[in-house]
Chain A
């Protein structure tokens, strides 16, 4: 009789069990599978539009991203910018402060650089001007970051939406300034600033325009990694992020940590703005940040704040972005194709984290190891 009953019992088809630990190899294997799947899905999306062999398309992407030395340097430049912003966001996110305002902080930093390039371009030697630009853009980003932090610290004002709105305020300030700076008149753009004197531009080092970018960004990354891991302030950030009540019990001044950390985060994003304006575009517009502030959030979060992983994730995203801009021009599509591809890849990468944290148990009477 008991036997007859047995057959009626239904165990759920699939259950999720949280993994205790997972080996590094297995975790990376899962991520790799996700990347491959996303590439297949992208191909499925692209092929009907372009009517091309997907292999050719991906060859196009590779050539677009790293096809010649100019493209390689453009990709590196983009990678460096994304990395700086992700590094800048790290302290805030480690503290569980949702700084969605990197766009605005970058814009304000960029605005400070552009203003100095325009008004102080001839007032001092270039090395001094660059130092002033760094300081001013850091200060501008800092102010933009600190305002929502103060309200968060004292009144628990929702920082996600506050920082988001600050982006748009920053954009309006930029359009306001463009009215005065536009060149040529009536174009509604600022144009290349100091194209003759190159004042306030990052100088070429070893004959390459982006070596200084590389130095500055690597410096910021290394210093920030050490700060987060080995300094007392970095430790405080981690404690506040994990549990505010614990931090309070440990005698940490939570308000001070929130404000200080956002000042730092905003300042680095501000410097990122100066790298974009002084070190790459040499102009300013509302699209100076170009959505990097949002992409960097995803980079920082997916890398779990590990600087090496951040380089890897940024590199991959930039690679795909630059590559798809190239295939877009090749096939006469518009460049927003890269956003779609980036989006699809992100969905897969975000989704695959689940399979790293959880194990699926399928209904099975005899437990057997499916995979080693």
Chain B
């Protein structure tokens, strides 16, 4: 009898990718009309597990039960037929189509399309749950939160009873996240079951009825949210007591290394991606850059590194030897030779700093191969550097002739950051250095950065996680929409203040 209340039940589900076990006999139940959180660090197997529910992956072992009946989900279509709908972290929408066209994609119904009728149906649905959506708008004209709305409506339109949301608030402002939570509660009250994948404890506590915790692919347990606390969940998530404190030394004799004055950058569509930006970066300190994804963080670092042309303004560099250089007039390679280095960890971890198909040695020389006038490559020096980095940073790799694309995310990032540090920079810029890393690997990276800080390097770090940025950095620069909305002392400010600055309306200023 009790089984009937379960919308979904997973028993003993295991999934392997080659030698990696992504999910190791995981159990999970979701009741009707409840919100379940799946909590776990990045890489703990949350998304893989949900991808098996939505038909993207097929489990190697185990059973899936929907409303008490064992089922086989071989494709997303099977999942839809069972009333399971997933909203992925990376939206699966076709840019050149309208919201309505995306919503009806793949649905049965023969013959000619009546878009007017479809749009009317969608309007009804959005009004019922309180969404804000124009069905005739093209996806490429939409904001991130609008796109998310399309994804959710798409799933509901198909009559899903179970909604799975993968890190839904990662790309939203706090205000947008609140709006989303309200809609989710409406849906729960209408009898839908909802699974939220997240690693943000506050959200778990604010929204869900129960929490299932995964760690490194293993099932740890399920608890009632009302009985859980931040501490108890953290412990389940990271396993045992781990000090969350990041060691932070006070800056020693900070000197101005970089001075950015009134820099403005324009993208190819004519929009200002950096809007009259001014700040300084000092030696021996970590300057954190906070902001919602796409606020101009990347462009800012690229402008300093000479990879992005600035339309107006000036970037000056004052190295230890007392000279002065105007970086905004120089080429990327010259800037690097002066000791201003950048390592950028893109979403796929490889795309910009490393070449996945090349081995460690060849990747080491990516920045330095041009040195000297010999037309042939020197592979000895980078080979030794690769050995050194592997040893010093505990990079797990079969050998230095393994393609970096085969290494795990944490090791790739160690290689990436390690290479930049190896050549003794005076200014080191890192973007998303712990993106996708587990806690231990993250700490290795934090330690690396702190080591550089103590050596007197001026560090600029773009970091997504506000908790980390508050604990790691000395000063925090907040960006929104290409503007700097504030620079705060990390020791004195609060998460709320930074959050407010991240969403501060930039148009009203002046």
Contacts and interface: CB of A to CB of B under 8 A. Distances in A.
A164 B345 CA distance: 38
Contacts of B353: 246, 249
B188 interface: no
- Give the interface SS of chain A, mostly helix, strand, loop or mixed: helix
Nearest to B344: A249
A251 interface: yes
Q: Indicate the member of A5, A11, A249 with the most B CB atoms within 10 Å.
A: A249
A158 interface: no
B333 interface: yes
B375 A233 contact: yes
A10 B72 contact: yes
Contacts of B34: none
Interface residues of B, number: 35
B125 interface: no
B70 interface: yes
Contacts of A242: 355-358
Contacts of B332: 251
Interface string B343-375: 010100011111111100010011101100011
A251 B367 contact: yes
A255 to B, nearest CB: 13
A246 B375 contact: no
Given A231-B375, A232-B375, A235-B377, A248 B307 contact: yes
A125 B295 CA distance: 69
- Give the interface SS of chain B, mostly helix, strand, loop or mixed: loop
Nearest to A21: B406
A20 interface: yes
Nearest to A240: B355
B351 A231 contact: no
Contacts of B333: 251
Contacts of B69: 5
Interface string B24-61: 00000000000000000000000000000000001000
B334 to A, nearest CB: 9
Contact of B70 (A9, A239, A246): A9
B370 A5 contact: no
Contact of B355 (A10, A15, A239, A251): A239
A243 B355 contact: yes
A223 interface: no
Contacts of B173: none
A238 B307 contact: no
A8 interface: yes
Given A245-B351, A245-B352, A249-B344, A235 B369 contact: yes
A243 B198 CA distance: 31
A180 interface: no
B18 interface: yes
Interface in A7-60: 8-12, 15, 18, 20
Interface in A226-263: 230-233, 235, 238-239, 242-243, 245-246, 248-251
Interface of A: 5-6, 8-12, 15, 18, 20, 230-233, 235, 238-239, 242-243, 245-246, 248-251
Interface of B: 18-19, 58, 63, 69-70, 72, 74, 307, 331-333, 336, 342, 344, 346, 350-358, 362, 365-367, 369-370, 374-377
17 contacts: A5-B69, A9-B72, A10-B74, A12-B74, A232-B369, A233-B375, A235-B365, A238-B355, A238-B362, A242-B358, A243-B355, A245-B346, A245-B352, A246-B353, A250-B366, A250-B367, A251-B331
